[in-house]
Amino acid sequence: MKLDREVNDYLTGTKFSSGLLINIAKKEKNTIRRLEYLKELVLGKKVIHLGFTDHTPLIKDKIKQNIWLHKILVDASEKCVGVDVNCEAVEYVRSEIGINDVYCHDITSDVLLEPLCAEKWDYLILGELLEHINNPVSFLSDINDKYGNYFKEIVITVPNAFDLINIRQIFKRKEFINTDHRFWFTPYTLSKVVSEAGFEIIKFHFCQSYLPKSYFSRLLINIYPNLREGLILHAKSTRSVK
């Protein structure tokens, strides 16, 4: 899905509206599954996976269930480098999981990570990371300034504010939330953040990690994809390699 062309003027700040109404979804026959989508995306590609570690006690169990994203990306891609600020978790992945092409590094640091600058990459993937960042515009801007010339596309996945679970909780006067999250994103607000960081939006999708048990819910998220739990957004740096 792509936002209408005229929306770009609002993303860049050329135009303003206090009540813009935009199209964000169309009826779909099949539900996009986040892990399957990313696996197919990186087949035979060179990938940087930022924030790859996950919660350390869960990694081995997730590998058994084939739901640990970094292992999926490593197995599918031509090359996948993991970068994370959690040095203990990075060392755990090296010693316990046996994946060595991983680095403990703050990607916003002025000290560039040499392996990322040594070649050109197809994708920089931020999976379920941006909602944990205090200042996502500054974070993405730093990445763009330092590494934007080394990858063709940035691919970001985040929770969707319009998730069916959230809608249901509204009628119970409740909020269902991961307590480490700082933000909920919609297609527009995510696009706005990414645009403010100097990227050009390519496309976005609504996705699910798991299919709902209820047939009615499965039907509903196909008729209204905007009720799915997550968003996937593709963008390119203005300094990207052509």
Q: How does pLDDT run across 55-78, given as a tens digit for each residue?
A: 899 999 999 999 999 999 999 999
**Can you point out the beta strands (E) in the chain?**
46-50, 79-84, 102-104, 121-127, 151-159, 199-207, 230-237
Query: Which residues, at least 6 apart from 61, have a Cβ–Cβ distance to it below 8 Å?
Result: none
What letter does residue 13 receive in the DSSP assignment? T
CA angle 157, 160, 166 (to 5 degrees): 150
Q: What is the model's pLDDT at position 238? A: 83
Boundaries of every domain in the chain: 7-13+31-236
Superfamily of domain 7-13+31-236: Vaccinia Virus protein VP39 (3.40.50.150)
* pLDDT tens-digit series, residues 160-195: 999 999 999 999 999 999 999 999 999 999 999 999
Tokens of 80: 């996948």
Burial 62-76 (b: 16+ CB within 10 A, else e): beeeebbbbbbbbeb
Q: Which residue has the tokens 């990313």?
A: 38
Residue 242 in this model has a pLDDT that exceeds 50: no
Contact call for residues 235 and 156 (beta carbons, < 8 A) = yes
